[in-house]
Amino acid sequence: MLIFSGCAGKPVVLETESGITEAKITETEIAETEVKNIYGKFLSPEAEELVLTGIDFHDRREYGTAIDYYKKAMDFSPEHPVIYFEWGFSSISMGDPDTALEMAEKGIVSAKAINYAEIIPTLMDLKGSALDNLGKTEEAIAVYQQVINEYGVVNTLVFYNLAVSYYRIDRREEAYEALSKGLVINLNHARSNYLLGRICIEEGRKTQAFFSLCYFLLMEPNTERAAQMYGALLQLLSGQDETIGIRLNGFFTPADMIISVAFTLDEANFRLSEGEKIKAKLYYVFTSLEEQKNSGKINRSQGDELWWDTYSPFFYRIVKSEYFDTFCRYIGLTMDPDADSWIENDREEIEGFFEWLNAHSI
C-alpha cells in the first residue's frame, strides 16, 4: 500500500513495503517485489532462507555479501531463476551489468525449462536494464517492448525503464508516450513524474510540465532534484519560458495560455509576500484549468486522460480542501529557509495533510 509519510530534514516520499532505492534519472528500476511474491515455486526451504538473507544484505547495499549468499543458495536449488534474478539484481546495483546480463539470460533459459512463466518478464526487465547500462540501448528497447507486447506486462516500472532508454538516445516523444502510459497505471512513481516533467520542459509542453512537476514535488519536496524542479515550476509561473527551455513550436493551447499569463497576477498582488504570490498563481492555474476543462473550452484529444482525468481533478480537490496552504508550502520546502522549524512546529497540520492525501490519492 502506498502511503504519504515524512519527517523533518529528510525527503518525504511515497514508500512501499519493499523500501526505497535512490537513483539518478538515467537509472532503471527492477520490480523486485514481483519476484518476492513468487518465491515458493521450485525453491527449496534452505535456498529460500539463503536468498532472503542475501536480500537483507542487498537492502543494506552490501551487494558482494548478498551475491555470496545467492551462490550458496544455488547448491540447494541449482539454476533456479529466482536466484539468478537476485544475483543479477545485486550485480547491476554494484555496477556490474555484464554479470547482470549473464544472470538474466541464464534465468530466462531456466525459467522456460521448468515452465516458470511468471518470472520471465521480471528477468527480461533485468536484461533490458543490463543492456541499457552496457550502451546497447536499442536492444534494451526491444526487450522492454517484448515484455509489454509478448508477455502482456503493463506496469509503471516497465514503461519507466522503456522511457529511460528512449531518453538516452534522444527519442523524447517515445519517452513521453511511455511515461504517460505508465503513470495512468500508477501515478505514484516519483521518477516517472520527474522524468516526464523534464521532457515536457524540454519539449515546450507547458501544461503537462506544470502538472507533472507539481505531482513530483508533492512526493519529493526537499531533495537536490526537487530544488531544480521547483525552480522550473517558478519560472513557468513567472513567464520566463526561455530560461528553462520551453519552446512554443507555434502551438498555444488554451491551457498553455492560462499558465503563460499567471505571472500577471503579481502586479495586482504586489503587496503580498513571495509565498503568497506563488499561492495565488497556483490557485489561479489549478482552478482555471479544471473549470475550463469542465466547460468544454480545453481541447481534448485521445490519450490525454493522464492530464485531464487524473492530474487536473486531483489538484482541484487540493485547492478546494482545507490543506491548500499546506500544499503550497510543502512543495516548496527546498526553497524555504524555515522548512525545518515549520515541519517541527506544525507537525499536526502536516500529518493532517498526509491523512487527507491518503484518503484522496489517485
pLDDT per position as a tens digit, 192-239 = 999 999 999 998 889 999 999 999 999 999 899 999 999 999 998 887
Q: Do residues 201 and 98 both lie within one domain?
A: no
Q: Is 163 contained in some domain? A: no
Q: Are 3 and 362 in contact (CB under 8 A)?
A: no
Q: Do residues 181 and 304 both lie within one domain?
A: yes
Residues shown for the chain: 362
Q: Is 4 contained in some domain? A: no
The full 3-state SS of 159-201, as one line of letters, equals HHHHHHHHHHCCCHHHHHHHHHHHHHHCCCCHHHHHHHHHHHH
pTM (two decimals): 0.82
Query: What rounded mean pLDDT belongs to the chain?
Result: 84
Model pLDDT, residue 261 = 82
Separation between Cα atoms, residue 220 and residue 210, nearest integer Å:
15
Q: Do residues 52 and 118 both lie within one domain?
A: yes
Q: Do residues 272 and 358 both lie within one domain?
A: yes
Locate 209 and state its grid cell.
510540465
Q: Is 21 contained in some domain? A: no
Return the DSSP state at 271.
Answer: T
Q: Do residues 184 and 273 both lie within one domain?
A: yes
Separation between Cα atoms, residue 126 and residue 89, nearest integer Å:
7
Mean pLDDT of 144-170: 92
Domain count, the chain: 2
Core vs surface per residue 183-208: b (16+ CB within 10 A) or e: bbebbbbbbbbbbbbbbbbbbbbbbb
Q: Do residues 41 and 117 both lie within one domain?
A: yes
- Give tens-digit pLDDT for 331-343: 999 988 888 899 8
Q: Do residues 190 and 337 both lie within one domain?
A: yes
What sign for the dihedral angle of Cα 250, 251, 257, 261? negative
Residue 53 sits in a domain whose CATH number is 1.25.40.10
The cell 492560462 sits on which residue?
258
For the chain, the first-to-last Cα distance in angstroms comes to 12
Q: Do residues 235 and 278 both lie within one domain?
A: yes
Separation between Cα atoms, residue 64 and residue 52, nearest integer Å:
15
Q: Is 212 contained in some domain? A: yes
Q: How far, CA to CA in Å, does 3 sit from each of 15, 109, 268, 350?
A: 6, 37, 39, 14
Separation between Cα atoms, residue 232 and residue 309, nearest integer Å:
24
* Amino acid of residue 172: R
Those residues with Cβ within 8 angstroms of residue 234's Cβ, 6 or more apart along the chain or in another chain:
278
Chain center to CA of 136: 23
Q: Do residues 184 and 274 both lie within one domain?
A: yes
Q: Is 96 contained in some domain? A: yes
Q: Do residues 105 and 205 both lie within one domain?
A: no
Separation between Cα atoms, residue 107 and residue 266, nearest integer Å:
59
Q: Is 116 contained in some domain? A: yes
Q: Do residues 206 and 310 both lie within one domain?
A: yes
Model pLDDT, residue 32 = 52
Separation between Cα atoms, residue 7 and residue 146, nearest integer Å:
41
- Give tens-digit pLDDT for 292-328: 999 988 877 877 899 999 999 999 999 999 999 999 9
- Give tens-digit pLDDT for 76-99: 999 999 999 999 999 999 999 999
Separation between Cα atoms, residue 251 and residue 256, nearest integer Å:
9
Q: Is 14 contained in some domain? A: no
Q: Do residues 183 and 275 both lie within one domain?
A: yes
Q: Which one of 124, 154, 184 terminates a domain?
A: 154
Q: Is 19 contained in some domain? A: no
Q: Are 221 and 215 in contact (CB under 8 A)?
A: no
Model pLDDT, residue 362 = 67
Q: Which of 33-37, 67-71, 150-154 has the highest mean pLDDT?
A: 67-71
What confidence tier does 275 reach under pLDDT thresholds 50, 70, 90? confident
Range of the domain at 318: 176-362
